[in-house]
Amino acid sequence: MKAYCASFNVGNVEIWGTDLYLDKNSVYLEIKESKIEIFDRIECLSVFITKKEFNTVWKEAVSDIKKYGNYENKINQFDFFILEQSIQKNERCNIG
């Protein structure tokens, strides 16, 4: 089985991330719904980007995420990507 999550980093700092989902579309939905939250966190880090610039970056990022699974903007040091992780289904769990 596969699980997916997304992460938005500025430089080496993760400023936003999703939970782990079994359905990749759930990750896309959370990304879409978190645009304002991500912008607010970028502002808190004192990254100098206007809302207009962010909207342009955002459109590119969402498009690239869907096509390639990642987005990188070297000018602003933005990294936005989806992580795919293999998980194993355990039939039994021993405690103690």
pLDDT tens-digit map of 23-37: 999 999 999 999 999
Write down the pLDDT at residue 96: 46
Give the chain's domain count.
1
d(CA 28, CA 49): 23
| Residue 22 resides in a domain | yes
| Residue 49 resides in a domain | yes
| Residue 74 resides in a domain | yes
More confident position, 96 or 1: 1
Instruction: Indicate whether this model's pTM tops 0.85.
Output: no
Q: At what angle do helices 35-44 and 24-33 cross, to 10 degrees?
A: 60
Domain that holds residue 60: 2-86
Tell me the backbone φ, ψ of residue 90, rounded to 5 degrees: -90, 130
